[in-house]
Structure 1
């Protein structure tokens, strides 16, 4: 058996069966060319785009590109695209089939792909029998992504605005309560601004005494001075509390306005660096590759059969 596998013996066997191998090769090439033609395999055209995420924030350890990829590969966007282009009909899958959802998703994943490139961009590819449809599917997937992210951001902004509005209403109620407490002190005791009035009363009292003002003026000053001494402390605390509440109200009002702006903003969340376009050359099937692999596989099988036949004949002698 050792001599059977010598190089010279193998070459001799191949040469002996050369005509058969040639015929097998020609038949294989012709058959592969025919069966890979549009008569048996539908040609598919590919369209692609490259995009970067923009105007988004990361919510985990994933990068913005990875989050974008998660969204593009979500079942939500997939079904939007399936419904928009009636892919069940295009893929010749009936909704009455038992596992039609599984089948449509398998076909979708074979025809449409999204993956991250080495430069952190996202590459979107689509295959279809019509190049215009393939291009439109890529473009639509980008549009659906923008719309989905916009909806999520608007919902979050409206939720944030509603929360801030509740806080703002509580601050306004607290301001009204403090103002109601201060109102009697303003009306009955003439207290308006503790620090300013305290300084003015002290200065006015000293000037009145120095200039010999009328007893009525001095009495008014003394009364206000007494009110400040008696009620001024409480009024001062209420005044400080009111100022703090008003500052918090203004901050909340500003945050509320910003949240409303975010809720009403119509932004896009992709930066398209390569736009999809209808291809003018099919991408599938690659006929020369099918022919080559078919030829190699059949010739290898033919050689194996020949060696087996020769080996049997040699052992029977």
Structure 2
């Protein structure tokens, strides 16, 4: 038996007229399969639980530190009214997806019971987290805002969850920032209080020296020396003795007084410099600003968002039509090739 090898002319090609004839030939099968697929899809779509969609739209803020936005010399570079950019939007989404925020929402609304997940069942936690992930989504828009999208069978609950997540974002971000801000404040506070303590010690020492009559070292030495000279000229030995005692005391403690004065001046300058850092650290640790601009809060929707039944029916029917069409084309080509092979054998 010779091998059958179809020529180019013998290959089947569907032009518009041939394709139309093909559709007419197999119209019954195509219509039936398309209709049946549509009916099945419609029935299945009716079994899918309806869900309502609630949405919160918000922008991140540009400024994070309260002190930078309000009291530093760089005011203007950190405008508290400026919207965040792409980096801040990505950070916002990362916090919204955090495990702590997710677990807080699940616990607050008892979502395990709401979604009918038995906590004692196998892989209960995994099922709960998967359900959360499928019903609660976060996305960055083209305008660099962030949307919190919640779907649920209960429209009121969907809106409540979306709004709660938006509120929790502030709590979560401020908690993260405050941990670092408090540690920074403690470091600055220790240094600030240490400088204050040193100033007090130096001031107390200077007061003790002042009580001994020591003040401006150079001026006092000059005046006492002149006074001793005058009293020597007058032959007043008693006065000379008293003045000499004062001069000896000033000479003894004068260098200490001068050194303390210089140290005190340096410490006062450091205190002024640290005062601003201390104020900034204290504000960052104990004050807070909202970390978002809410453009639109969620409200209970009055129209379902899922499933879109007509779309399910149309897509299913078209898919069935195309798949049936492809199968029929292969079937008809196979029949033609088989007949040609049989004829060539004869």
CA RMSD, aligned part only? 3.4
Question: How far apart are 1:139 and its partner, in Å?
Answer: 0.9
**Is the alpha carbon distance of 1:237 and 1:12 closer, same or farther for their aligned partners in structure 2, counting shifts above 3 Å?**
same
Taking the aligned partners of 1:219 and 1:122, their CA distance within structure 2 comes to 87
Per-residue deviation, 1:137:
1.4
Give the deviation of 1:241 after TM superposition: 0.7
2:327 is matched with which residue?
305
- The yes-or-no answer on 1:19 pairing with 2:41 is no
Instruction: Give the structure 2 partner of residue 41 of structure 1.
Output: 48
SS at match of 2:306: coil
Q: Which runs of 5 or more residues in structure 1 are unaligned?
A: none
The question of whether the paired residues in 2 share the 8 Å contact of 1:3 and 1:9 is answered with no
Structure 1 contact 112–124 (Cα < 8 Å) conserved: yes
The 2-side partners of 1:143 and 1:14 are apart by 59
- Comparing 274-283 with 3-12, greater Cα deviation is found at 3-12
Q: Give CA deviations for 1:267-296 in whole Å, capped at 9, x if unaligned.
A: 321111222222222211122221121111
Cα distance per residue 1:247-283 (max 9 Å; x no partner): 4345545544543343332432111122222222221
Deviation, 1:101, is: 2.6
Aligned positions of 1:208-219 closer than 5 A:
none
Q: Which of 114-123 and 269-278 deviates more?
A: 114-123
Cα distance in structure 1, aligned partners of 2:208 and 2:158: 76
Match of 1:79 among 92, 99, 103: 103
Structure 1 residue 22: Cα displacement? 2.0
Aligned twin of 2:64: 56
Q: 1:209 offset after TM fit, Å?
A: 9.5
Q: Quick check: 4-13 or 72-81, which moved more?
A: 4-13
Whether 1:118 and 2:142 are equivalent positions in the alignment is yes
Aligned to 2:305, what secondary structure does the other structure show?
Answer: coil
Cα distance in 2, alignment partners of residues 27 and 50 from structure 1: 42
TM-score (normalised: structure 2): 0.74
- Going from structure 1 to structure 2, the CA distance change for 1:279 and 1:239 (only over 3 Å counts) comes to same
Structure 2 gaps of 5+ residues are: 1-5, 66-85
The answer to whether the Cα contact below 8 Å between 1:201 and 1:221 also exists between their aligned partners in 2 is: no
